[in-house]
Amino acid sequence: MAGSELTNTKSPRVKAAKRLTKRAFRDRDRSFLAEGPQAVREALALPGVAVELFTTAEAEIRHADIVTAARLAGVPVFGASGEVMAELAQTVTPQGLLAVCRFVHVPLAEAVTEGAGLVAVLAHVRDPGNAGTVLRTADAAGADAVVFTDASVDPYNGKCVRASAGSLFHLPVVTAAPVADTVRHLKDKGLRVLAADGAGAKTLDDVDLSGPTAWIFGNEAWGLPEEVLGLADEVVRVPVYGRAESLNLATAAAVCLYASARTQRSG
């Protein structure tokens, strides 16, 4: 391990990284924390995104390929004691790798351009675990972009970053986008905008998903507000064939995104 091990949780370098657990400091520094080998590996795959890497001695041995990749990319690597890693990590059992990363989001006009076929929009989504899972699902389904509206959770929230399992670094992500402006832009680019909501007049089985489509997903508890539903071309519900009251947000998003992806690829 290069250099001496960081053992003081009150050291300036540790405190500077620790404050990125709070959104106000993330926004000010335009930086966030990526924790765990999967997130760190994907961050390092984008040149210039990872700016520091903290690793325990054990993690450096276990994930030697990641630490070596960081050094080859010119990313400073700092050894961290277990106490320091526990101070920085936001998990109960830290995996010993944590990177400070620059923001990766892009403007809406850059994320969604002519030819986009599938876009996920998170409107009023507050739970970071659900949001990160939807981001991961959109990535897996081959979506062109994911839009976090201005009323949704910060995608750089630690739980959201972890739940995305590296997908935050794979596709264009938009943050703090006004819903009305987002929908207008999506329609201008030729996408049909569908709102996923349990009150939808049509079910997923009833709509044509063959063309370019954007899905709007809402709050975990109360769905989408009326003003957002009114912006969509159609409001669609996922059919429930059994006795469950409903599906949770992440599951419903997976069903909708994969239905679109499958239809578009089979056409």
Tell me: the pLDDT tens digits for 90-116?
A: 998 999 999 999 999 999 999 999 999
Whether 2 shows a pLDDT value over 60: the answer reads no
Range list for CATH 3.40.1280.10 in the chain: 108-266
pLDDT digit string, tens, across residues 212-227: 999 999 988 888 999 9
**CATH architecture assignment, domain 108-266:** 3-Layer(aba) Sandwich (3.40)
Tell me, what amino acid is at 105? H
Contact 216, 232 (CB under 8 A): yes
What pLDDT, on a 0 to 100 scale, did the predictor assign at position 267? 66
- Contacts of 118 by beta carbon, 8 Å cutoff, 6+ apart: 138, 141, 142, 143, 144, 212, 213, 214, 215, 257, 260, 261, 264
> In terms of DSSP H, where are the helices of the chain?
12-18, 23-29, 37-44, 57-62, 64-72, 82-88, 108-111, 128-140, 158-163, 179-188, 226-229, 249-266
- Token look-up 């892009």 returns 106
Whether 128 shows a pLDDT value over 60: the answer reads yes
- Contacts of 39 by beta carbon, 8 Å cutoff, 6+ apart: 99, 161, 162, 164, 165, 166, 168, 169
User: In the chain, what's the furthest Cα-to-Cα distance?
Assistant: 63
From the options 3.40.1160.10, 3.30.1330.30, 3.90.1310.10, 2.40.170.20, give the CATH code of 12-102: 3.30.1330.30
Whether 198 shows a pLDDT value over 90: the answer reads no
Range list for CATH 3.30.1330.30 in the chain: 12-102
Give the pLDDT mean for 30-42.
97
